[in-house]
Structure 1
Amino acid sequence: MTTTTTTILSIVASILSAGPPVDVPTPPTDDERPHVVFISGDEEYRSEESLPRFAALLGRDHDVRTTVLYSLDDEGRIDPEALSNIPGLEVLADADLVVMFTRFRTLPETQLEPIRRYVASGRPLVGFRTATHAFRYPDEDPRHAEMNEAWPRRVFGQRWITHHGNFGDGKAPLTRVVPDPEATHPILRGVGPFDAYSWLYHVEGGGDELAGDPTRLATGTTLKSYHEERHDRFPTSSPVAWTLENPTGSNLPGRVFFTTLGPPYDFRSADCRRMAVQGMLWAMGRENDIPKAGVEIDATDDWRLTNAGFGGYRKHQRPAVPATREP
């Protein structure tokens, strides 16, 4: 692994702690390691806290350089409720992997276009939970039909349909997650069944199906449901993780890993974190770097994230100024 200075290592360590969300140091552009860009922009699930931790973990353990982008207010503070501003997306031009965790964004064309270009380039993509509804343009906007529903289904395999309900404000597990027992996919190495705090997203069954030719990796079964009278339409089990592989020239990402998991307390589970990290490695074509027992994952105490909920984000936080290497 490339040697970095004590300064950068100390900053990364602080990101993995329970401190406020900050950006991950991005080394100078002459760094030849793969570049992973994380895009945070959701009001509910604290992606502004979880994605920097994934970025720090990848940078420390898997020899990549990382950039974390956030929704920012007019003063440059992290504000998940700032729906139309994620500065810095031009860095996608040299990204080797993009990880998206956005919800109902209305980005201006100057910020949306780098995402479109990246997707059309055939490079890999990872999506979390609300990326099934990454954008929400108003009816009168010409991007409405494509970006609100067609784009996430074409790119990630499904659009937003419904979920089975948020019970207990996310403070207790709501979904039992079981990896496919017959699967030998490298993303599932070392991943066992676990309880997720997610309220289960409906993505398949009752007349709905995933788009493309997905490989279903894990299934979630809800422990409670708002749809008790409609389980024929919205079954109590649905895929929570899958992959897609698209041919060159399809104007789609070559490899896609998607999971409907992502509320902050989901990441208390080492199995959940391991599956997410291994999904990122697989998307980059690095499945040979995933041991049979799975990658090492930080202790749960490093993932003491703020609970999900609208308006619950940490106020007045700013992305850190990227660090540089010392001579």
Structure 2
Amino acid sequence: MNLIYTDKMSGLMRIIVSLIVLISLSSVVGAQSNDKLHLVFVTGDEEYRSEESMPMLAKILKRELDCEITICYALDSLGYIDPNNKWHIAGLEALKTADLMIVFTRFRELPDHEAKFILDYAESGKPMVGFRTATHAFLYKDDPERQHLNEAWPIKVFGQKWITHHGHFSDGHGYLTSVDILKEGRKHPVLRGVEPFKAYSWLYHVQGKGYSLSGNSQALLTGHSLRSNYSENKKFPLDNPVAWTKTYTGDAGKEARVFFTTLGHPFDFKDESMRKLAINGIYWALGLEKKIPKKGTNVTFAGEYNPNNSGFGQKYKKGRKPEDI
């Protein structure tokens, strides 16, 4: 509001105009304090179709939370979604105003100015959620100054690095992991409405045999490998955590809530319990656990979800540009 005082104004009129200005400013501040939550999804993996599963979750969240959504994709030079482009994710500047960062990337080698948005957000003290390959979100092979992002960064932020898994076995053509609720996690709000289910994701190893989840990680779900390259008496057990909560304290000195799951095959999200796990986890990270109903959040699809199967190379859907959510 631009108001101009003139010499012809009476003293009373000046007071009235000043009050109008103050009331107007107060209403602006009030509007800002009621701004919608801004959720930013950082996608970019060439195997698990995060460019399809994360927009599906985003549509549910927009419906349920009436929030603002930004989805950052790996794009080619013409602006088409290309998860094989490990060197670019568009739109990461949106993290400057994000209330939550959701990461589903794999072995990215981003330039400094792009990676900085992710790293700065992680140090801000604001909450984070990670899916599956965020345990190996980055891979800088020939850059000694950034190699800590390959393993040390995901360990401290998300709870674990990439170690190994139990094998693929006909991706997407059969269940590979049986998911159950750990006794100590049964009353956790993230698990409201979540029932034991079977997943297409092959089990990741994150704990045991010399490895452990970092910090104050609290495992909620356990996975049992239904098919494995390893036998029980060898190095990696057939049972491992597949979802946990933790906190991470960054440079801001504030404990940020973190929810993580090593599940994330595109077909996993067809299961209602998997979607409830994901959406409940996002609510919890945002500090909205009181809004999670006893039977879990409403995770009915907000549109079609028919993702391509997992796989490398050219198995993603071609000719797609980012869509409005």
Do these two structures clear the TM 0.5 threshold for a shared fold by scoring above it? yes
Amino acid in the other structure paired with 1:207: G
Residue 109 of structure 1 deviates from its aligned partner by 0.4
Q: How far apart in 2 are the matches of 1:246 and 1:102? A: 19
Q: Alignment length, in residue pairs?
A: 292
Residue 122 of structure 1 deviates from its aligned partner by 0.5
Residue 180 of structure 1 deviates from its aligned partner by 1.6
Deviation per CA, 1:260-287, whole angstroms, max 9, x where unpaired? Answer: 0001011121001101000000000000
Superposition map of 1:120-269 within 5 A: 120-144=123-147, 146-183=148-185, 184-228=187-231, 231-247=233-249, 254-269=256-271
Q: How far apart in 1 are the matches of 2:144 and 2:303? A: 44
Residue 299 of structure 1 deviates from its aligned partner by 5.2
Aligned partners of 1:190 and 1:293 also within 8 Å: yes
Amino acid in the other structure paired with 1:244: K
CA 1:92–1:169 in structure 2 vs 1: closer, same or farther (change >3 Å)?
same
Residue 246 of structure 1 deviates from its aligned partner by 3.6
Q: How far apart in 2 are the matches of 1:270 and 1:300? A: 13
1:82 aligns with 85
Residue 290 of structure 1 deviates from its aligned partner by 0.1
CA 1:251–1:81 in structure 2 vs 1: closer, same or farther (change >3 Å)?
farther
1:38 aligns with 41
Structure whose CA Rg is larger: 2
2:96 aligns with 93
Aligned partners of 1:205 and 1:233 also within 8 Å: no
Residue 119 of structure 1 deviates from its aligned partner by 0.5
4+ residue segments displaced more than 3 Å? 246-253, 299-302
Aligned partners of 1:119 and 1:252 also within 8 Å: no
Is 1:67 the counterpart of 2:70? The answer is: yes
Tell me whether 148-157 or 291-300 shows the greater mean CA deviation. Answer: 291-300
> Paired residue for 2:278, among 248, 263, 276?
276
CA 1:197–1:225 in structure 2 vs 1: closer, same or farther (change >3 Å)?
same
Q: TM-score, normalised by structure 2?
A: 0.86
Residue 64 of structure 1 deviates from its aligned partner by 1.2
2:312 aligns with 310
1:118 aligns with 121
Residue segments in structure 1 that go unaligned for 5+ positions in a row? 1-28
User: Identity, % of aligned pairs?
Assistant: 49
Q: How far apart in 2 are the matches of 1:204 and 1:231? A: 16
Q: CA RMSD in A?
A: 2.0
Amino acid in the other structure paired with 2:267: Y
2:15 aligns with none
Residue 232 of structure 1 deviates from its aligned partner by 4.0
1:9 aligns with none
CA 1:250–1:165 in structure 2 vs 1: closer, same or farther (change >3 Å)?
farther
Q: How far apart in 2 are the matches of 1:207 and 1:99? A: 29
Aligned partners of 1:268 and 1:300 also within 8 Å: no
Specify the SS of the correspondent of 1:170. Answer: coil
Deviation per CA, 1:163-218, whole angstroms, max 9, x where unpaired? Answer: 00001122110000001234211000010100000000000011111110111110
CA 1:33–1:231 in structure 2 vs 1: closer, same or farther (change >3 Å)?
farther
Deviation per CA, 1:239-273, whole angstroms, max 9, x where unpaired? Answer: 00000024575667610000000010111210011
Aligned partners of 1:155 and 1:252 also within 8 Å: no
Aligned partners of 1:52 and 1:68 also within 8 Å: yes
Residue 139 of structure 1 deviates from its aligned partner by 2.9
CA 1:270–1:196 in structure 2 vs 1: closer, same or farther (change >3 Å)?
same
Q: How far apart in 1 are the matches of 2:276 and 2:320? A: 28
Amino acid in the other structure paired with 2:121: Y
Q: TM-score, normalised by structure 1?
A: 0.85
Residue 162 of structure 1 deviates from its aligned partner by 0.1
Amino acid in the other structure paired with 2:203: L
